[in-house]
Amino acid sequence: MRKIFVSVTNDLITDQRVFRTVDFLLENNFIVTLVGRKLQSHYPENKKNNLIIKRFSLLFNKGPLFYLCYNIRLFFYLVFHQKDYLLANDLDTLLANFLASKLSKAVLVYDSHELFTQVPELIHRPKTQKKWEKIESYILPKLKYAYTVSQPIADYYHKKYGTDFKVVRNLPYYQAKPSGNNLLTNFARGRKIILYQGALNIGRGLEPLIDSIPLISKQVALIIIGSGDIDEKLKAQVKSLSLEDSVFFIGKIPFEKLAGYTPQADLCVSLEQSGFGLSYEYSLPNKLFDYIQAEVPILGSNLPGIKSIIETYQIGKTTDNFSPHKLSAVIMSMLENPTDIKEWKDNLQKAKKDLCWENEKQILTSFFP
């Protein structure tokens, strides 16, 4: 059996894309070592055959020293293990994998989950951005096997570096009959549930969404699943608006349990905003497809990828107006229109059969034959 090392900089708990890829590799007779980092004391037990999980404990967990320490640790770990393939997930793992591949006969494959150098956290930090761009410009032109999450990102890389990227969208497994665990209804207390799940970072539309809730708080409860850089800022915003009984933060939910939460919602949101870098402009958020598998109508922003999916399949509405009055009006118009809701739910049943991992994973056979 062939051996592959798959590396990420997170702790793997919520990384659905990576575990779906791992499942594909296991199905195709690979022995997989999944390398991440340790951020808490307890993790779910690994029960999969031929899967080894390794999490690094590091002295630094953010900033330049974290990335430096992680890549040094990863490089030496990879160098001293037998391997046939290396799969680097995102730019922050690529340098160690690239150098390790040069010292072995291992085939290097790169999965770019986003347009890393154009994320909001970097576009306003030009010095840091340039350091990552140097790594990217050094390695990407040399890559033979690479794929990413959307066609605009693939086109961007090809134009800039001449590297061919295939597209493997971040699609979930098909769920024939989504079923909820009813845990969110305890928060809603009879109100309609608006759900956001994913990273809590700038540019996700969460601030204007929270600003819209005072206008409709008697009719809806906003539930936010996830964590990120602006957790505390969002919680302070909720407190300042006295919305503690209408906006609820659930924190991270392990991806294998998340599918039990999403179907409880009446409306799901994906409100990524423009003006926060090309990574958002070109994004095709994985939560969009999780919502589809849960058969919940979607309110999305007008960014091209999001708008295209919603309008192609007719599964909700989009907006480019993030004022509290406009957002609250759009939300209530969606929730109070049973005819549209029925049509969206009928269309969601069709969309989920197309937009599932069982179809998408076939693309990976060209990288791991």
Q: Could you report the per-residue pLDDT of 162-200, keeping only the tens digit for each?
A: 999 999 999 999 999 888 788 898 899 999 999 999 999
Spatial CA neighbour of 7 closest among 21, 228, 294: 21
pLDDT at 157: 97
Dmax of the chain from CA atoms?
Answer: 62
Domain count, the chain: 2
Task: Report the pLDDT value the prediction gives residue 249, as an integer from 0 to 100.
Answer: 97
Kindly state whether residues 116 and 163 are assigned to the same domain: yes
> Closest Cα to residue 298, out of 312, 282, 318, 280?
318
Cβ atoms of residues 151 and 283 within 8 Å: no
pLDDT value at residue 353: 97
Q: Give the pLDDT confidence of 54-78 residue by residue, as tens digits.
A: 999 998 988 899 999 999 999 999 9
Residue 356 is classified by DSSP as: S
**Orientation angle between helical segments 63-79 and 91-102, nearest 10 degrees:** 30
Can you tell me the distance from the alpha carbon of 35 to that of 105, in angstroms, rounded to the nearest whole number?
20
- The answer to whether 296 and 263 have CB atoms below 8 angstroms apart is yes
State how far the Cα of 195 lies from the Cα of 180, in Å rounded to an integer: 13
Has residue 271 been placed in a domain? Answer: yes
> Is the predicted pLDDT of residue 272 greater than 90, yes or no?
yes
Asked whether residue 52 is domain-assigned, the answer is yes
The confidence score (pLDDT) of residue 88 equals 98
Domain that residue 329 falls in: 185-354
Which two three-digit tokens encode residue 181? 């665990």
User: Which H or E element spans position 32?
Assistant: strand 30-37
Q: Are residues 341 and 227 located together in one domain of the fold?
A: yes
Cα gap 67→52, rounded to integer Å: 23
Q: Is 191 helix (H, G, I), strand (E, B) or coil?
A: coil
Question: Which pTM value belongs to this model?
Answer: 0.87
Exposure class string for 310-329: b at 16+ Cβ within 10 A, else e: beebebbbbbeebebeebbb
State CA 241 to chain mean position distance: 29
Give the closest residue to 266 by CA, choosing from 211, 347, 327, 336: 336
Which residue in 367, 174, 172, 180 sits closest to 285, CA to CA? 172
pLDDT in the model for residue 144: 97
What is the total residue count of the chain? 369
Give the pLDDT of residue 169.
95
Is 148 inside any structural domain? yes
Q: Which of 85, 353, 95, 327 is nearest to 196 (CA)?
A: 327
Residue that terminates a domain, selected from 108, 133, 167: 167
- Compute and round to an integer the Cα radius of gyration of the chain: 21
Tokens of 332: 């209530």
130 and 202 fall within a common domain: no
Residue 331: predicted pLDDT: 98
C-beta separation of 272 from 202 below 8 A: no
Mean pLDDT for 283-306 is 95
Distance CA 38, CA 105 (A): 29
What is the per-residue pLDDT for 98? Answer: 98
Whether residue 31 is found in the same domain as residue 125: yes
| 18-34 confidence digits (pLDDT tens) | 999 999 999 999 999 99
pLDDT tier, 13 (very low <50, low <70, confident <90, very high otherwise): confident
pLDDT of 5: 98
**Per-residue b or e along 343-363, where b marks 16 or more CB atoms closer than 10 Å to that residue's CB:** ebeebbeebbeebbbeebbee
The percent of residues above 90 in pLDDT, for the chain, comes to 85
Cβ–Cβ under 8 Å, residues 291 and 193: no
- 2-7 sheet: strands from edge to edge: 51-56, 30-37, 2-7, 85-89, 107-112, 145-148, 166-167
If we measure between CA atoms, which residue out of 269, 42, 17 comes closest to residue 34?
A: 17
Decide if 259 is inside a domain: yes
> Do 111 and 210 belong to one domain?
no
Does 326 lie in the same domain as 199?
yes
325, 283: one domain: yes
Q: Domain check: are 341 and 206 in the same one?
A: yes
- The residue out of 167, 196, 214 marking a domain boundary is 167
User: For residue 326, is it within any domain?
Assistant: yes
Strand order across the beta sheet in which 267-270 lies: 247-251, 220-225, 192-197, 267-270, 298-301, 316-319
CB of 36 closer than 8 Å to CB of 44: no
Instruction: Inform me whether the pLDDT recorded for 158 exceeds 90.
Output: yes
Indicate if 8 and 155 belong to the same structural domain. yes
**204 and 126 in one domain?**
no
Q: Is the pLDDT of residue 44 over 90?
A: no
**Range in 30-39, 231-240, 270-279, 302-311 the model is least confident about:** 270-279
> Is the same domain home to 236 and 155?
no
Q: Considering 141, 167, 193, which residue would you say is the last residue of a domain?
A: 167
Q: Is the pLDDT of residue 134 over 90?
A: yes
Predicted pLDDT of residue 26: 97
Whichever domain contains 117, its CATH number is 3.40.50.2000
Per-residue pLDDT for 288 more than 90? yes
- Could you tell me if residue 178 is inside a domain? no
Portion of the chain with pLDDT greater than 70, in percent: 100
Mean pLDDT, the chain, rounded, equals 95
Structural domain contains residue 362: no
Is the domain of 42 the same as that of 163? Answer: yes
Q: Which tens digits make up the pLDDT trace of 232-271?
A: 999 999 999 999 999 999 999 988 888 899 999 999 999 9
In a domain, 65, yes or no: yes
